[in-house]
């Protein structure tokens, strides 16, 4: 399974990064969101740390929808999905490979969104960075575990971008709250309770949806029509 | 086939009559709350709506698991009926909650975590109903909806926990100390929950029968 996972990961990363439109559309959409929110500030004002963290995660969520649409669209041309299904390996390797590719691409995008949030929304990384990095990893993992599962669900639909967004965003709420809570602390917002509860919640989310992905992906992608 | 509609219709009628009887308990038996007065009576409607909507979503989860295990189309139709009832009841719970909030907190809506959690659940299952309306091949659609039904319910406890971490101003109604409810109020709210339960069961069962009939008609046409 690991070999197949790595093969899917390598294929998806190569195809996405080598295409001119690749990650650009998702990146531009996220950046545009950060910029549009910056317009809500008056001259000399800056957004509150919590608002800025929410904008950062909102950009990441929209970016993630486009990433998974693109990752699952790769197999739609030439019916190559059948080729993946016929590979002599567990079908879950496809889910895992695409989820890891999603995490890698999302992290790349966030490398642009984070400085954009600091610059456009007037933030300063004044809070503790270790929990912020932990929540970044945990939230991205959960988002991509679920995104990879539901990306297969929306596959083949003409309105898949909006469909995936409508189904995925409400499900991601606990993770986005966790990300926003700790993100606000990283931008200097004081929280007497600390990051422990949010980290625990994000870890629980990851555990549940990694298990759900492993169990349920075969139903969606197994070729049953 | 029309005979199949009789039991749910009887249940629905029993639920409606019980709800009518509950109005007596609400307005004449239960005492008026000291600070909120008449508006507090919304609580007797709001609580059963919220509880039965949650139970509807649990039924969607059970039906979805049953479909994934057995591939029984009837389980899928049960999910459809329960999801429709759940979205309707949670929508009404949100509306009655807003009326309560206006009187109690002075605003129509506040980002109280439990309100937010209910709204998020409403969005999740509204999205689920959207999936059910897609023009997919029937077997594929049933499979997709079953997976979505499982995933949606797995998310519900996480939504509640995240809401609790985000501190609540929502009243704890039936906590360990009874939440400050008078005995007459407890009797009234229990009666309302049971009456709504009958009504809900009749509604879901009737809708399931309708969906069964539609599937049968489409099957005979095809």
- Residue-wise pLDDT tens digits, B159-177: 878 877 766 555 555 554 4
CA distances from A154 to A148, A161, A167, A175, B130 (A): 10, 8, 9, 21, 12
* Subunit contact B166:A177, Cβ cutoff 8 A: yes
CA distance B40 to B23: 14
Q: Do A201 and B158 touch (CB under 8 A)?
A: yes
Residue-wise pLDDT for A89-104, tens only, equals 888 999 999 999 999 9
Asked if the Cβ–Cβ distance from A212 to B151 is below 8 Å, we say: yes
Which of B68, B154, B163 should one mutate to test binding to chain A, selecting the residue with the greatest count of A CBs within 10 A? B154
B7 Cβ neighbours under 8 A, 6+ residues apart? B205
CA A174: distance to chain centroid?
A: 14
Alpha-carbon distance of B85 to B65, in angstroms, equals: 19
Cα separation, A124 vs B200, in Å, equals: 52
CB contact under 8 A, B124 and A170: yes
Of the candidates B124, B144, B165, the beta carbon closest to that of A171 is on: B124
Q: What's the CA gap between A95 and B30, in Å, rounded?
A: 55
The average pLDDT across A147-160 equals 76
A201: nearest CB among B127, B147, B161: B161
Residue A20: the pLDDT is 65
Residues in chain B closer than 8 A to A176 (CB atoms): none
- The tokens describing A71, both together, are 């990752």
CA nearest to A154 within chain B: B144
Q: How far is CA A65 from CA A157, A165, A168, A169, B93, in A?
A: 14, 6, 8, 9, 31
Residue of A nearest to B152 (CA): A171
Distance CA B41, CA B29 (A): 11
Hey, are the CB atoms on B159 and A178 less than 8 Å from each other?
A: no
Residue A99: phi and psi, rounded to 5, are -65, -45
> Is some CB atom of chain A closer than 8 A to the CB atom of B68?
yes
Give the model confidence (pLDDT) of B5-34 as tens digits: 889 999 999 999 999 999 998 888 888 877
- The ipTM of this complex is 0.84
Identify the segments of chain B with pLDDT beneath 50.
176-178, 221-222
Query: Are B123 and A153 a contacting pair at CB < 8 A?
Result: no
pLDDT band at residue A80, thresholds of 50, 70 and 90?
confident
Question: A161: pLDDT confidence band, cut at 50, 70 and 90?
Answer: low
Q: Name the maximum alpha-carbon separation found in chain A.
A: 60
pLDDT tens-place string over residues A23-50: 888 899 999 999 998 888 777 777 888 8
Any residues with CB less than 8 A from the CB of B196 and at least 6 apart, and which? B15, B19, B48, B49, B51, B52
| Closest chain A residue to B129, measured at CA | A167
Q: What is the mean pLDDT of residues A56-71?
A: 92
The pTM assigned to this predicted structure is 0.86
């Amino acid at each position: 399974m690991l070999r197949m996972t790595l093969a899917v990961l390598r294929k998806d990363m190569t195809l996405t990064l080598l295409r001119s439109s690749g990650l650009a559309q998702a990146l531009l959409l996220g950046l545009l969101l950060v910029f549009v929110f910056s317009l809500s500030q008056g001259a000399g004002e800056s957004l509150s740390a919590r608002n800025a963290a929410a904008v950062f995660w909102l950009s990441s969520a929209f970016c993630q929808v486009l990433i998974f649409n693109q990752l699952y669209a790769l197999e739609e041309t030439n019916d190559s999905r059948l080729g993946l299904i016929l590979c002599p390996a567990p079908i879950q390797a496809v889910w895992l490979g695409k989820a890891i590719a999603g995490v890698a691409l999302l992290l790349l995008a966030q490398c642009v969104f984070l400085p954009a949030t600091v610059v456009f929304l007037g933030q300063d990384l004044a809070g503790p960075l270790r929990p912020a990095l932990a929540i970044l990893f945990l939230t991205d993992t959960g988002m991509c575990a679920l995104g990879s599962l539901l990306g297969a669900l929306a596959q083949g639909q003409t309105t898949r971008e909006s469909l995936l967004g409508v189904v995925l965003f409400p499900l991601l709420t606990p993770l986005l709250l966790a990300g926003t809570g700790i993100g606000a602390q990283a931008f200097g917002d004081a929280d007497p309770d600390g990051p422990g509860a949010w980290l625990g919640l994000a870890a629980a989310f990851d555990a549940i949806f990694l298990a759900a992905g492993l169990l349920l992906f075969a139903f969606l992608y197994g070729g049953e029509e | 086939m029309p005979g199949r509609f009789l039991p749910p219709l009887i249940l629905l009628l029993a639920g409606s009559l019980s709800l009518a009887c509950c109005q007596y308990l609400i307005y004449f038996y239960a005492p008026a709350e000291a600070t909120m007065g008449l508006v507090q009576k919304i609580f007797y409607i709001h609580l059963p709506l919220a509880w039965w909507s949650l139970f509807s979503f649990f039924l969607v989860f059970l039906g979805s698991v049953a479909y994934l295990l057995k591939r029984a189309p009837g389980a899928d139709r049960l999910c459809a009926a329960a999801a429709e009832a759940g979205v309707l009841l949670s929508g009404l719970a949100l509306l009655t909650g807003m009326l309560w909030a206006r009187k109690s907190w002075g605003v129509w809506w506040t980002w109280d975590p439990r309100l937010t959690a209910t709204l998020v659940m409403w969005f999740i299952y509204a999205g689920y109903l959207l999936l059910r309306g897609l023009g997919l091949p029937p077997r594929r659609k049933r499979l997709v909806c079953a997976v979505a039904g499982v995933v949606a319910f797995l998310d519900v406890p996480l939504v509640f926990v995240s809401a609790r971490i985000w501190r609540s101003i929502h009243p704890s109604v039936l906590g360990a100390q009874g939440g400050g409810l008078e005995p007459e109020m407890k009797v009234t709210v229990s009666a309302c929950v049971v009456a709504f339960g009958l009504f809900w069961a009749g509604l879901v069962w009737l809708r399931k029968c309708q969906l069964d009939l539609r599937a049968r008609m489409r099957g005979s046409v095809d």
